[in-house]
Structure 1
Amino acid sequence: MRVSDIKALKLSDLNWETKTITIVQEKTKVGVTYPILHDVGWALIDYLRHARPICESPYVFVRLNAPFEAFGENANLHNIITQYIRLAGITVPRGKRHGLHSLRHSLASTLLEQGASLAVISEILGHVDSKSTAVYLHTDLNGLKSCALDPEEVFRNA
């Protein structure tokens, strides 16, 4: 999910019976349904029970300081993510990107390394056009190595 989708996520988008999240993507305006994975489900439940302020907001994620409402359109969640990365003791090498977009990039890279097709990765990331997903192809070094030609073999057969 994109940052904009997470900020716009409503309690009504969560279907606990089917263990799914159904949204219309903010960027593409395309409807998509995601499974609520076991760990994600329990993390959401923990947040809703113990961390989310009691309020009337229909949004899942709200500001932790009054007024308890959805994050604004220009709210920068990067700073919040960075704070919790540090609190969790995760060290990020200097110059290395981190935040929600880097999580999407890591997911795409991992799926690619595990042999997932570009079409599957595009669908998971919510890309309308698989060309948008192609930017992640450079991360699969083993895949790229398998495409390399042996110059000796090429010249022998020429």
Structure 2
Amino acid sequence: MIWTAKLIKHKNENRIAVQFEKNYRLIQRIKEFEDARWSAQKMVWHLPDTFENREHFNIIQYENTIPSPEGIEQLHKFKQHLASKRYSDNTIKTYCEALRSFLFFYREKPIQDLTNQDVIIYTNEYLLKNNLSASYQNQIINAVKLYFSIIRETKIDIEKIHRPKRAKVLPNVLSKEEVKLILEAHSNIKHKMMLCLIYSCGLRCGELLALKPLNIDSKRNVILLKNAKGKKDRIVPLSPKILDMLRDYYILYKPKTFLFEGQIIGNQYDARSLQLILKQAISKVKIQKPVTLHWLRHSYATHLLESGTDLRYIQELLGHNSSKTTEIYTHVSTKSIQQIKSPFDDL
């Protein structure tokens, strides 16, 4: 696969431009990335500027972003500490790259001399100046607070490091009719099975792909999710309709290690291929919304709430630590809103 990638500004957004010779297979692959777009003006495909995309295309933000020797040593120690605490690989990578950015910014200053004012300066002179998101800023703050609480003793008072104001973004939810169209779009039983299982159990993409046949308890009609997000096990109810579909699927595919395997027997199904399956489904049924796999999970929770399921049970089913996380679905449920009569109707 021959391609080149570089950082660009497009409509005042930080993006990654990817160029390659015109090739149907490569075009299909690039479309698997979330928010991949074609620019007719620049004649390139471009993607969001994220750590994951930079890493995938070997753009080392780190071009010119290597911290001082002291910073490199501290990053190594920080990574070792996180690993010893059994943080997930993704969390370790996210925290280390966030801290790397901060330490690079102060590569000329000894770490022990850093203060809270330096954190504010970094926020204003780097994060805000480069239009980086509040969620990315929050990642930086998480990494900095954790690092200075466990690795170094400095002039920084971690309790006084403030976080960005959170945007109140509502989850995206599909109607039951839209969900049905999407789930019935594929005739391939494997593709249909994966999408149906995500919606019917409110699974995250990673949770679905980590499932093994032994996680399906047909006697109790539940699915056991092992070591899910936050290293927590939980169980979710298994619909009798889904169980019948699973039996047909199992007879046809006979999975060995994972419930859904890729082309190589015993290997997990690829997450990007699953995203492409969803994109193909929404294209077939002509839904114009930018639906992602997580929309199916959001829709599951909202539809449960609208059918009268107690919020505490929904919290358990989704694996949320805090009820506040689950309460956001009360803001997108239309059950009560639809009963409100507009004063316009009385005019």
Q: TM-score if structure 1 supplies the norm length?
A: 0.72
Structure 1: gaps (5+ residues): 148-158
| Aligned equivalent of 2:286, options 87, 91, 94 | 91
**Take 1:49 and 1:124, find their aligned partners in 2: how far apart are those partners?**
28
Given the alignment of the two structures, is residue 70 of structure 1 paired with residue 265 of structure 2, yes or no? no
Alpha-carbon displacement from aligned partner over 1:67-126 (angstroms, at most 9, x marks no partner): 552135xx322112222444xx4331x2x2424211111112112222333212211222
Do 2:211 and 2:258's aligned partners in 1 also have CA atoms closer than 8 Å? Answer: yes
| Aligned equivalent of 1:15, options 209, 214, 217 | 217
Match of 2:333 in 1: 140
Shift of 1:20: 2.2
Specify the code of the residue in structure 1 equivalent to 2:216: L
Given the alignment of the two structures, is residue 6 of structure 1 paired with residue 199 of structure 2, yes or no? no
Specify the code of the residue in structure 2 equivalent to 1:69: N
Match of 1:119 in 2: 312
| Aligned equivalent of 1:100, options 285, 290, 293 | 293
Percent identity over the alignment? 29
Call closer, same or farther: CA 1:145–1:84 in 2, change over 3 Å. closer
Match of 1:154 in 2: none
1:58 aligns to what SS in structure 2?
A: coil
- Give me the CA root mean square deviation: 2.6
Shift of 1:39: 0.9
Aligned ranges for residues 25-104 of structure 1 at < 5 Å?
25-50=227-252, 52=253, 54=254, 57-63=256-262, 65-66=263-264, 69-72=267-270, 75-76=271-272, 77-86=274-283, 89-92=284-287, 94=288, 96-104=289-297
Structure 2: gaps (5+ residues): 1-202, 341-347
Larger radius of gyration: 2
Call closer, same or farther: CA 1:121–1:82 in 2, change over 3 Å. same
Shift of 1:139: 0.9
Alpha-carbon displacement from aligned partner over 1:23-46 (angstroms, at most 9, x marks no partner): 224212222122321111011111
Call closer, same or farther: CA 1:10–1:67 in 2, change over 3 Å. closer
Call closer, same or farther: CA 1:12–1:118 in 2, change over 3 Å. same
Match of 1:156 in 2: none
The count of residues paired between Structure 1 and Structure 2 equals 138
1:31 aligns to what SS in structure 2?
A: strand
